[in-house]
A = this chain, B = another copy of it.
Amino acid sequence: MFNTVEIKDVKNEIGLLVKAIRKQRGLSQTQLAKSLDVSRTTIQNLELGKNFTVDTILKVLKEVDLLEQLNGKVVEAKDQVLNAKSLY
């Protein structure tokens, strides 16, 4: 009934997203890892849904020009919370 998304699921989806982006750009894990200055193991674990640091995913997003967009979403969400407070 309830579609309960678990943390594990989200990590898996993030991994699939990164893999899709990488494939779209015709890069191997090794090539992506090199351009991000991380090890291939780090990319591999990220893509396979293991735990990883925010630095790693943000490096990926910066590489594919999605960092500004994410930042915008975060700031937007933050402002929404701060504005909601002032309504009471």
Q: Which residues of A contact B (CB under 8 A)?
A: 3, 5, 7, 9-11, 13-14, 16-17, 20-21, 23-24, 51-55, 57-59, 62, 67-68, 70-71, 74-75, 77-78, 81-82, 84-85
Contacts and interface: CB of A to CB of B under 8 A. Distances in A.
| Copies of the polypeptide in the assembly | 2
Is the contact region of chain A dominated by helix, strand, or loop, or is it mixed?
helix
Given A10-B70, A24-B85, A52-B54, 6 more contacts: A13-B78, A17-B74, A17-B78, A24-B84, A53-B53, A53-B54
Contacts of A10: 58, 67, 70-71, 74
A60 B61 CA distance: 21
Contacts of A11: 54-55, 58
B54 A9 contact: no
Contact of A7 (B24, B58, B75, B78): B58
